[in-house]
Amino acid sequence: MRIVQCFNWRLIDIIPNLRLIKEQEFDAVQINPIQPLKEDGLKEWWMSYQPIAFKIGNFFGTKEELKLFCDECKKVGLLPISDVVINHMGASLEDNLTPHQKVDPELRNRLDFWKPKERVQDWKNRYEVVNRCMDLPGLNVYNPMLQDKIVDFLNELIDCGIEGFRFDAAKSIGLPSEGYNFWPELIYRLKKYGLFLYGEVIFEENQRVLDEYAKYMHVLGNYDTSDRSQMVKYIETHDTYLSDGELGYTKRMSDREILDIYKSLVSQYENTLFYIRPWNDTWKSEEIKQVHTLFKKR
């Protein structure tokens, strides 16, 4: 699966490019989270990861535009994939661990829908990672009633035509071996079988943890699972290009470096992600088309 990430593109701007994306031998298009946001519009890029509800529609597209996007993807043979945020909601201005006042009251007013207001201090401590907050108000996804809302939301996206999900911050949601059946139950309850699912599990070195995530989804990360076919590999994402500090390490890399490393990843892995930098046409390169064609899965 060769996925192109059209980060911060409005759906109506992606649609005219779908045929060219297909001609570049990409298989799928990943869009921004389509949930209502704490602040809408092209503001801080990370605002796309501070939703306020499990509903469809924001600056990047309406529900009707999403249906049109999915229909147009299918016409040219592309898989429409939605990034989704199910681990946390937007923060208040006063306290990063308190839900913003715009958060859906059906969520905000239920204390049992939220994790304790405790930040992860040690990201190698799995108990902290899956039970505490990542500097945003963490949802207690282990609550069955909250799980129902998440499942309903994902199934609504499927009804619109979405055929795959990128689960943001999947690393922060516990596994069966840790006492949580969230992932197997969620996947079982999705109304369509055979969706392309992948979860963000970055900076994780524990092989047991990586391999267990790989039982339920492909793993978007910087370490390999035992089965490489379960990985979605990348050289660059919105995080590595747009973040400040060490996390934004690829902003110092040239287009040429990104292209060369991406081509190497395509030669080694079945599933790759290519992030389109703002106002950058590297994704249209003939070299990308050639390497996709050369290593196309038979």
Per-residue pLDDT tens digits for 84-132: 999 999 999 899 999 999 999 999 999 999 999 999 999 999 999 999 9
Question: pLDDT over 70 for what percent of the chain?
Answer: 99
Is residue 169 within 8 A of residue 134, CB to CB? The reply is yes
| CA torsion angle 49 54 55 60 (round to 10) | 10
- Helix ranges, the chain (H): 11-14, 18-23, 63-76, 105-108, 126-131, 144-160, 182-189, 207-213, 238-242, 255-268, 286-294
What's the pLDDT at 55?
Answer: 98
Question: pLDDT over 90 for what percent of the chain?
Answer: 95
What's the pLDDT at 165?
Answer: 98
What's the pLDDT at 180?
Answer: 97
What residues pair up with 234 in beta bridges, in sequence order? 273
Per-residue pLDDT band at 42 (split at 50, 70, 90): confident
Which residue do the tokens 């309903």 mark? 152
Structural domain of 35:
2-294
Burial class (CB in 10 A: 0-12, 13-18, 19+), 194: exposed
Is residue 90 within 8 A of residue 51, CB to CB? The reply is yes
Count other C-beta atoms under 10 Å from residue 207's C-beta: 12
Across the chain, what does the average pLDDT equal? 96
pLDDT in tens, 253-282: 999 999 999 999 999 999 999 999 999 999
**Is the confidence at residue 236, as pLDDT, over 90?**
yes
pLDDT in tens, 15-33: 999 999 999 999 999 999 9
pLDDT in tens, 210-230: 999 999 999 999 999 999 999
The residues near 110 (Cβ < 8 Å, ≥ 6 apart) are 145, 146
| CA torsion angle 236 237 238 240 (round to 10) | -50
Which amino acid belongs to residue 119?
R
The Cα 235–Cα 105 span in angstroms is 39
State phi, psi for 43 to the nearest 5 degrees: -110, -130
Q: What is the CATH number of the domain that holds 228?
A: 3.20.20.80
The Cα 117–Cα 4 span in angstroms is 36
**Is the confidence at residue 43, as pLDDT, over 80?**
no
Specify the number of domains making up the chain: 1
Query: 98: helix, coil or strand?
Result: coil
Judge if pTM exceeds 0.85. Answer: yes
The Cα 287–Cα 281 span in angstroms is 12
Query: By mean pLDDT, which of 11-15, 159-163, 220-224 is the weakest?
Result: 220-224
| CA torsion angle 227 225 297 162 (round to 10) | 120
What's the pLDDT at 298?
Answer: 47
Which amino acid belongs to residue 246?
E
Which amino acid belongs to residue 139?
L
First to last CA, the chain: 11
| Cα separations in angstroms, 165 against 31, 37, 78, 83, 208 | 10, 18, 14, 6, 23
**Is the confidence at residue 174, as pLDDT, over 60?**
yes
Query: 23: helix, coil or strand?
Result: helix
User: How many Å separate Cα 203 from the centre of its chain?
Assistant: 15
> What does DSSP assign to residue 278?
T
